[in-house]
Structure 1
């Protein structure tokens, strides 16, 4: 049985040390400030990105990898005798999954490559890739690794809080009037991602304290009060956001069996802005590695 290698893209926000330990291949997106283009999480790390963002005259843009970039990785891994499970940012948010799918169709033999739409973002699917890579390291087949990704995708609950509505408005996620009105009233939209991979507000409350309390309520509805959970938290470096408040509140109301904290990278940060916090929660013992 051939070795199974996980391929992802830079929006999975998996730390470099973890990728190296598990042999996860990462294909980067690009972040563009004016005339300057950077490979996300290669030539532009999260802390560097948020420093540049503070001084930018205009919001940066992002660009997906080309099919050729994925094709090079797939062909190299196949030549090495490996099979591939390639997991990517929600197809509703980016063309990255489509690029990977096109690359697979360009192979002489595509039977050793599986491409999966995570229907998620950031470590929400990075966690799936890590767990799948752990399974592959234990000797799981490509079909078993694929099944692990799909199972965990179905078990995960996720919620995001943004510090400001400015970036959602600039990126076209919400209207300008809604952004101004929401900012004046200190409205905090609680965002999630649907089964179709689309971001939408599940609730809107006034103030961070109420937003944190509401997320706790939602998770108690998802898993039951006092449940044992695995928790992954992401936030942006150098910013005071809601992540610490969320972790403290969850520790008081749940049994946290596994915990991971990671940084939101440049691409997701372009659209969500500094101070964003995200939670990705699984039932404890589900097989998820944090």
Structure 2
């Protein structure tokens, strides 16, 4: 029985302790401040990134790994494990070319290494919540078929909701128009964002302020999952206190199999800005 090794990218925002515990391979995306380039989570931590963001007038840009980088990762894993099946799970292809780079690399190695590349159609810990579940199964000895079947369930069962503190970053990154950003800020409208079935960002609903926005998200989660046991992940951009409050509230309302709080890393942070909160939920087995 071939073992399974799990690969993802840095936009999954998985805490380092879980990456190490579950032996997950993380391929970093890049963040650019003018001429300076950093690898997400390698030589630029979330804390360092947000410090730079506050100190720098330049809007950062991001870029995906190259197919060659993925090839090197896949070759190294195959060599170290004597031919493990590689399950590579990545940021929504509608948000980045990362999945495409991984897919090209897998095609180059077709016939030599057994690789399945998956478009998560999610972002931040909505990817991580699935990746950690699959990596845990793999660590327990689950085979390729079992891991892929469970991933199929997770892809359909996982929900994510984002709240941004400011509309500035969404506007500058072309997600909303300037007029909408100015009007939303003046009216203190808190857009609740989500990802649709194609992996594109869309406005799930609008609320007047954080309290009403969170109440709407809690209600939607309860409607979707009912009495099911769930895994919950809260990712935040310099909003840890709020993240802790959200976890406590969800644990009061739902049966939680696990809960994780993690920082939104530099790549996702460059597109949503500080103060962002993201709630990811999926069904536990």
Q: TM-score, normalised by structure 2?
A: 0.94
Partner of 1:234: 235
Distance in 2 (CA, whole Å) between partners of 1:274 and 1:213 is 21
Q: Deviations over 1:115-169 (max 9, x none)?
A: 0000001110111111111111111112221222221121112111111101100
Q: Evaluate the alpha carbon distance shift between residue 108 and residue 204 of structure 1 in structure 2; reply closer, same or farther with a 3 A threshold.
A: closer
Partner of 1:273: 273
Distance in 2 (CA, whole Å) between partners of 1:249 and 1:20 is 29
Q: Evaluate the alpha carbon distance shift between residue 88 and residue 252 of structure 1 in structure 2; reply closer, same or farther with a 3 A threshold.
A: same
Identify which of 208, 211, 215 aligns with 1:209.
211
Is this contact kept in 1: 2:244–2:261, CA < 8 A? no
3-state SS in 1 of match to 2:217:
helix
Structure 2 alignment gaps of length 5 or more: none
In the TM superposition, residue 45 of structure 1 has moved relative to its aligned partner by 0.6
In the TM superposition, residue 240 of structure 1 has moved relative to its aligned partner by 6.7
Q: Deviations over 1:200-259 (max 9, x none)?
A: 1110111111111111121122123x664331111113x477434433432343333421
Is this contact kept in 2: 1:161–1:242, CA < 8 A? no
Is this contact kept in 2: 1:241–1:277, CA < 8 A? no
2:72 maps to 1:72: yes
Q: Evaluate the alpha carbon distance shift between residue 263 and residue 39 of structure 1 in structure 2; reply closer, same or farther with a 3 A threshold.
A: same
2:103 maps to 1:101: yes
Q: Evaluate the alpha carbon distance shift between residue 119 and residue 68 of structure 1 in structure 2; reply closer, same or farther with a 3 A threshold.
A: same
2:29 maps to 1:29: yes
Distance in 2 (CA, whole Å) between partners of 1:71 and 1:254 is 41
Stretch of structure 1 that moved more, 174-183 or 156-165: 156-165
Partner of 1:16: 16
Stretch of structure 1 that moved more, 12-21 or 200-209: 12-21
Q: Deviations over 1:44-91 (max 9, x none)?
A: 011110111111112100000000000011112222312200000000
In the TM superposition, residue 183 of structure 1 has moved relative to its aligned partner by 0.2
In the TM superposition, residue 110 of structure 1 has moved relative to its aligned partner by 5.3
Q: Evaluate the alpha carbon distance shift between residue 107 and residue 47 of structure 1 in structure 2; reply closer, same or farther with a 3 A threshold.
A: same
3-state SS in 1 of match to 2:99:
helix
In the TM superposition, residue 274 of structure 1 has moved relative to its aligned partner by 0.5
Is this contact kept in 2: 1:240–1:275, CA < 8 A? no
Distance in 2 (CA, whole Å) between partners of 1:262 and 1:27 is 18
Aligned length: 283
Identify which of 120, 140, 143 aligns with 1:141.
143
Q: Evaluate the alpha carbon distance shift between residue 240 and residue 142 of structure 1 in structure 2; reply closer, same or farther with a 3 A threshold.
A: closer
Q: TM-score, normalised by structure 1?
A: 0.93
Structure 1 alignment gaps of length 5 or more: none
3-state SS in 1 of match to 2:57:
coil
Is this contact kept in 1: 2:11–2:124, CA < 8 A? yes
Distance in 1 (CA, whole Å) between partners of 2:176 and 2:192 is 14
RMSD of equivalent CA atoms: 1.6
- Kindly report which structure 2 residues correspond to 1:1-290, keeping only aligned pairs within 5 A, or say none: 1-80=1-80, 81=82, 82-107=84-109, 109=111, 112-224=114-226, 228-237=229-238, 239=239, 242-283=242-283, 286-287=284-285
In the TM superposition, residue 3 of structure 1 has moved relative to its aligned partner by 2.0
